[in-house]
Amino acid sequence: MELNDVSALVTGGASGLGRATAEALVRAGAQVTITDLPSSPGEEAATALGGGTRFVPADITDEATFNQALDVAEERGPLRAVVHCAGRGGDRLRIVDKEGNPGSLESFEQVLRVNLVGTYNVLRLSAARMVGNEPVDGERGTIVLTASVAAFDGQIGQTSYTASKAGVHGMTLVAARDLAGAQIRVNTIAPGIFDTPMLARLRQDIRDGLAASVPHPRRLGDPDDYAQLALTLLQNSYVNAETIRLDGGIRMAPR
């Protein structure tokens, strides 16, 4: 898909991977709309990104507000590209703790709600807009979702996060098959350890240790690494139904 002048929506666009992707899309000439929580610095991000970028506050788990973001994106032309980066970290809970108490079901549900139910909401509502587009070069639209390497190598304490991200990986093939008739592609990026605000709360020595555990290149992922792959997935019309690990070759240890 040619991105110049195309209307593109980025969720989680106020921060981290989403913000870097929005920046890359603006550079590629797309008409970019970002959406993020009302409490996020989305307005500042949109101003800094330039290129007429619009910010719409929305919760990805909420149909009404997410539809408002889609409405604004459609004011800028038929929505053809969506990169879904909004998400949250896990709850670092053992299934049974040291005192023998079972992990919190409420906490598990909250992580699944944002990362998995939210992803399905973004997927279904975005695709519902794209099916009405006129095809260009055989495509009506394309969607990139975000999982994590935790979908494959979940660490102890990551039960909820891993379950949510494995769900995103699992729905990728089904969604691509389901939407193939509508000429919409769906792919997923499974990032390793990226240097974003989500990781910034960790101590520097822990961050250094994480960087040293990446086989090659021996560094944390840069949000621009993610943005570059997201744009490739939007642009390359033969990539479909794929989850791509973007991780410098890391395989997470049990803890």
Ligand X SMILES: NC(=O)c1ccc[n+]([C@@H]2O[C@H](COP(=O)([O-])OP(=O)(O)OC[C@H]3O[C@@H](n4cnc5c(N)ncnc54)[C@H](O)[C@@H]3O)[C@@H](O)[C@H]2O)c1
The residues of the shown chain that bind ligand X, judged by CB under 6 A, are 12, 14-18, 36-37, 40, 59-61, 85-88, 114, 118, 146, 148, 191, 193-194, 196-199
Q: Are strands 243-246 and 184-191 parallel, antiparallel or unpaired?
A: parallel
Q: Which of 120, 161, 226, 238 is catalytic?
A: 161
Query: Using alpha carbons only, what angle is made at residue 192 by residues 11 and 48, rounded to the nearest 5 degrees?
Result: 35
Q: What is the side-by-side order of every strand in the sheet holding 141-146?
A: 54-57, 31-36, 7-11, 79-84, 141-146, 184-191, 243-246
Report the distance separating Cα 49 and Cα 52, nearest Å. 8
Q: Least distance (Å) from ligand X to the CB of residue 215?
A: 16
Q: Least distance (Å) from ligand X to the CB of residue 238?
A: 25
Closer residue to ligand X (CB): 140 or 227: 227
Report the distance separating Cα 125 and Cα 137, nearest Å. 23
Report the distance separating Cα 25 and Cα 33, nearest Å. 10
Q: Least distance (Å) from ligand X to the CB of residue 196?
A: 3
Closer residue to ligand X (CB): 130 or 168: 168
Q: Least distance (Å) from ligand X to the CB of residue 137?
A: 29
* Residue 87 contacts residue 116 (beta carbons within 8 Å): no
Closer residue to ligand X (CB): 171 or 183: 171
Closer residue to ligand X (CB): 133 or 223: 223
Report the distance separating Cα 114 and Cα 18, nearest Å. 16
Q: Least distance (Å) from ligand X to the CB of residue 194?
A: 4
Q: Please indicate whether residue 161 is annotated as part of the active site.
A: yes
Strand pairing partners for 9? Answer: 33, 82
Residue type at position 80: R
Query: Tokens representing 99?
Result: 């005192």
Closer residue to ligand X (CB): 102 or 197: 197
Catalytic residue annotation: 161
